[in-house]
Amino acid sequence: MEGICGRKGDRMSKKWYRVPKLKAIFIVALAVVFTNAVVSYSNTVKLIYNQQWVTSSYEVVTQLRIIQSTLKDTETAQRNYLITADADDLQTYLVAYQKTNNNIQIISKLTTDKHQKRQWIYLLEPKINNRLNILQEEISLRQNQGFEAVRQQILSDKDKQISKEIQQLIHDSLEVEQNLLKQGMQQSQASSQKAIVTFFIAAIVDLVLVALLYDLLWRYIRQLQQTELALRQSENRLRAIIDAEPECIKLIARDGTLLEINAYGLAMMEVESADVLIGKPIDAVIVPEYRAAFADLHKGICQGNKGTLEFEIVGFKGTRRYMETYAVPLCNESDGTFIHLALMRDITQQKQAEQKIREQGLLLDVSTEGIVVRNIHNQILFWNQGAERLYGWKAEEVVGKNVSQLLDKDSPQLEDAYLRVMNTGEWRGELHQLTREGKVIIVESRWILIRDDNGQPKSILSVNTEITQQKQLEAQLLRSQRLESIGTLAGGIVHDLNNILSPILMSVQMLQKKLPDSQSQQILQTLENNVRRGANLLKQVLSFARGIESKRTIVQIQPLMAEIEQIITQTFPKSIICQVDIPKNLWYVRGDTTQLHQVLINLVVNARDAMPNGGILRIAAENLVIGENSAQINIDAKVGSYIAIVVTDTGMGMSSEVQQRIFEPFFTTKEVGKGTGLGLSTTLGIIKNHGGFVNVYSQVGRGTQFTVYLPASTSKSAHLQSQELESVTGDG
């Protein structure tokens, strides 16, 4: 930043290089004008001196002529008085006498500082005084002795000689002074001409210099005016731009006081004039808890660093605003220090929006539904806690990933859903999706298209609700209804077939009595066996369709499962490992032991057939209480106590299509001759006849699990009856 300040200073020096040049020209012009003034002054002084000298000489000549005239008037008046003795003539004499004395004093003063003139004045003045004294003596003599006494003196040569000397001296002085006056006038005229010529030359030179200087100054002034105008226009444009800026712009001094602020800043501070703020500490409007942070920021800016800060201010009308400032140092041209230039943006709405988003995010996280926001490229943008619970992935694990590759692998509805939401803005439907554990779940999905401010597709909001259990219940209901229909149909068929087989069996028995030979007996025995086998088959179908009413007793599950374990150990291939988990505190079941034995046999045989290459067969049981929420796991489930018997294999598993049909009569996946398709249908009939239900979970290649739920009998009477049964059995 210091380098920048230096470069700016160089540019300013280059910009104002004309100033020294103008100063030099101005000094030269002043020197020339001063020289011309000195020359003109010298010539003027000389001219004035010559003029004064001429004037003085002219005055001397004038006074000499006056003296000459007054002296003559004095002599004439004195002669008239001597002749007439008239008082008027005497008065005229006295006046002339006084004038002569005054003129002598005047000319004496005029020649005081003029040595050459003073010499002949020294000669003239005594002679005139002597002549005046003679005239005064003659008047005194006339007054005392009469005219005759004075006449002789008047006619004497002495009197005439003095007059001639005075007149000659005055004449010579006038001639000399007139010559000097002429010379002085000539010199004065020459000096005047020289002064005039010099004055005109100097005036012309001065005018040229003044014109040149004026032209330069005018150009400089015009340039300054243009520069000032450009600066003013630039300042006005900059001020207009700054005032039009929809953000607060401040210039802060090093001491923390405000130097400048734009119109938007005044509006944010809730004042009408900048005078209210200029010169005041800027942190006065900052909320106290942010002042220390702002002071640190200001200190760093004044050291030449940049910085940003978010803080809160309180306007003069009490309005609180969140501000974000971007501060940069501004170099001060005068001393190279830095002041604080701040660009402040009102982020109150942003903060409120962030708070609202956080609140909405909390609401979304509280929701039990999985809410996912993706962009138009299927990248996940938002993943709420409901989605975390539904799918098993945390938000930080999936944001930015492709939602289709993560959840909707090989789903045929995705393309249709995407096109529908892009065209109509909304889509609803069901999707089969995968969880983190690889489990397939069914969700009811609602898609909403979100557009930006320009109306262009921006993202897709999807709300997913798991309906796997609901779909399973619906499937169970449909299967139950289908099986009920099949059972009704099968019951009618069994009734008709029994009506057909009964006469046949009776006829066979009659023929056995009438045809005693061995060959006939053998044929009839074969026929009877087949009829009875058909009757047993019909009995199984009837057991599935309507259930077989039998005597119910209190049944212990532990001995029954132990017997099944023994059968598995003795008859199943050694490649199948049997694991039995039977707790000792199992509750009792009220039911038919033979039928329950048949259920378990059917399940373990199916498990064996599903593991031709061997595997693990696990049988477990537990006490279970089903509440209102858990009762939704099966359409036939009811609230109460149950014993859950679980038969699990690690065989080939079943597809979802096969699982939908396994309880149908005569449905089998085994080869022809290896199964009738009545085992599971009979099992289901027996379980339902006991008031229970069954759940199936299977994955292809990962095995199958059957869970049989049988209502438990936990009453004290059932326990006593069970003890009696055990004692009877023991006695037998």
Question: pLDDT band at 6, cuts 50/70/90?
Answer: very low
Token couple for 254 = 């090093």
- Residue range 241-251, pLDDT digits in tens: 777 777 888 88
H or E element in which residue 171 lies: helix 157-244
- Residue range 287-318, pLDDT digits in tens: 999 999 999 999 999 988 999 999 999 988 88
What average pLDDT score do residues 553-567 get?
A: 87
Residue-wise DSSP of 650-670? -S----HHHHTTTTSTT---S
Strand partners, 460: 374, 449
Q: What percent of the chain has pLDDT over 90?
A: 9
Q: Is the pLDDT of residue 682 over 90?
A: no
pLDDT score, position 575? 92
> Of 379, 381, 382, 390, nearest to 434 (Cα)?
390
What average pLDDT score do residues 492-517 get?
A: 78
Q: At what angle do helices 18-84 and 87-110 cross, to 10 degrees?
A: 150
What average pLDDT score do residues 391-420 get?
A: 81
- Residue range 619-659, pLDDT digits in tens: 999 998 888 776 666 667 788 899 999 999 999 898 888 88
**SS3 assignment, position 202:** helix
What average pLDDT score do residues 266-279 get?
A: 86
**3-state DSSP percent of the chain in helix, strand and coil, to 5:** 60, 20, 20
Name, in order, each residue with C-beta under 8 angstroms of 422's C-beta and a sequence gap of 6 or more: 449, 457
Mean pLDDT of the chain: 78
Q: Is the pLDDT of residue 330 over 90?
A: no
Residue owning tokens 């138009």: 376
Between the alpha carbon of residue 681 and those of residues 545, 674, 688, 696, the distances in Å are: 9, 16, 11, 13
Residue-wise DSSP of 463-513? EEEE-HHHHHHHHHHHHHHHHHHHHHHHHHHHHHHHHHHHHHHHHHHHHHH
Q: Is the pLDDT of residue 156 over 90?
A: no
What average pLDDT score do residues 333-342 get?
A: 82
What average pLDDT score do residues 71-94 get?
A: 77
pLDDT score, position 497? 75
Residue-wise DSSP of 523-546? HHHHHHHHHHHHHHHHHHHHHHHH
What average pLDDT score do residues 588-607 get?
A: 87
Top-confidence residue, 187 or 593: 593
pLDDT score, position 545? 54
CA distance 36 to 471: 120
Q: What percent of the chain has pLDDT over 70?
A: 80
CA distance 210 to 29: 8
CA distance 346 to 482: 68
DSSP-derived letter for residue 586 is -
Residue owning tokens 């892009």: 422
What average pLDDT score do residues 677-702 get?
A: 84
pLDDT score, position 479? 61
**SS3 assignment, position 554:** strand
pLDDT score, position 707? 93
Q: Is the pLDDT of residue 730 over 60?
A: no
pLDDT score, position 7? 45
CA distance 406 to 409: 7
pLDDT score, position 543? 59
